């Protein structure tokens, strides 16, 4: 046998061993549950309905296997509906209808919803979760009349107590802060049109409220009337 013939046979031998190993490795790594999966966005953000306000259901941001053998279940189920407003507890792509939670009175609401999937034929399971964060609207009044008559003597901010970590800043026309407070203490220490105990002049002031990381800044103007 020549040297060239030897190397040719040896190379073919290694080549077929490689094919055999690859096929064997693939057969060992086959996962019967690879088609059972689900994933969701981390959260849904929305405002709490005011009394009498109607908010349309929103599609839940979720993706998952389309294998028809998988049975899906949402827990808790309250608020999960189909496109017609019927029970959507066992849908992969339901809508969330905040109206199903009843009258929230504009208050904040947060819960975690879990979706689980199970393929009874293979016994494979999967799950994911999504936080539904319903924000109470921060509603600052636009004027105060701090004259000591107990009517509008301080700046009212509806629902600010729902955001204890909120920061509240009021500035004058030159951009100088005349008030800085927090949501945690605002109801006890509201802005009364004073700076260091002295009355601020009549005029228009600007404010910025940062409720929390999920809520966009609330900015606007506040008028002091004397």
CATH number at residue 156: 2.60.40
Q: What are phi and psi of 10, to 5 degrees?
A: -65, -40
Tell me whether residue 46 is in a domain. yes
Clarify whether residues 197 and 173 are in a common domain: yes
Two structure tokens written together for 48? 């709490």
C-alpha dihedral over 225, 162, 187, 146, to 10 degrees?
10
Residue 20 has pLDDT above 80, yes or no: no
Average pLDDT of the residues in 64-88: 96
**Boundary of a domain, candidates 101, 118, 135:** 135
Q: What is the pLDDT of residues 117-140, one digit of tens each?
A: 999 999 999 999 999 999 999 999
Tell me whether residue 15 is in a domain. no
Element (H, E) at 23: helix 3-29
Clarify whether residues 200 and 172 are in a common domain: yes
| CA–CA dist 35, 218 (Å, integer) | 45
Clarify whether residues 76 and 156 are in a common domain: no
At 30 the pLDDT is 75
**Boundary of a domain, candidates 112, 135, 158:** 135
Clarify whether residues 113 and 180 are in a common domain: no
| CA–CA dist 178, 163 (Å, integer) | 21
Residue 44 has pLDDT above 80, yes or no: yes
Tell me whether residue 22 is in a domain. no
Please tell me the pTM assigned to this model: 0.74
Which residues, 6+ apart, have CB-to-CB distance to 188 below 8 Å?
none
At 75 the pLDDT is 97
Q: How many CA atoms lie within 13 A of 76 on its CB side?
A: 9
Average pLDDT of the residues in 173-199: 96
Structural domain range at position 201: 139-224
| CA–CA dist 38, 49 (Å, integer) | 30
Tell me whether residue 120 is in a domain. yes
At 216 the pLDDT is 94
Residue 36 has pLDDT above 50, yes or no: yes
Clarify whether residues 130 and 143 are in a common domain: no
Tell me whether residue 29 is in a domain. no
Tell me whether residue 32 is in a domain. no
Residue 17 has pLDDT above 70, yes or no: no
**Boundary of a domain, candidates 116, 135, 154:** 135
Q: How many domains does the chain have?
A: 2
């Amino acid at each position: 046998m020549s040297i060239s013939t030897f190397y040719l046979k040896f190379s073919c031998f290694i080549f077929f061993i490689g094919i055999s190993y690859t096929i064997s490795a693939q057969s060992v790594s086959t996962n019967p549950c690879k088609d059972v999966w689900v994933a969701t966005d981390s959260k849904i953000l929305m405002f709490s309905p005011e009394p009498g306000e109607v908010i349309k259901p929103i599609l839940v941001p979720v993706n998952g296997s389309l294998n028809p053998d998988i049975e899906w279940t949402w827990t808790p189920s309250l608020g999960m509906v189909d496109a017609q407003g019927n029970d959507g507890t066992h849908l992969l792509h339901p809508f969330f209808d905040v109206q199903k939670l009843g009258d929230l009175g504009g208050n904040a609401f947060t819960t975690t919803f879990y979706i689980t999937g199970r393929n009874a034929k293979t016994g494979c399971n999967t799950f994911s979760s999504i936080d539904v964060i319903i924000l109470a609207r921060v509603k600052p009044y636009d004027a105060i009349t701090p004259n000591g008559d107990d009517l509008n003597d301080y700046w009212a901010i509806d629902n600010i107590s729902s955001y204890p970590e909120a920061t509240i800043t009021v500035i004058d026309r030159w951009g100088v802060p005349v008030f800085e407070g927090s949501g945690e203490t605002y109801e006890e220490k509201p802005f009364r049109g004073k700076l260091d105990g002295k009355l601020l002049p009549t005029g228009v002031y600007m404010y910025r409220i940062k409720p929390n990381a999920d809520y966009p800044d609330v900015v606007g103007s506040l008028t002091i009337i004397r």
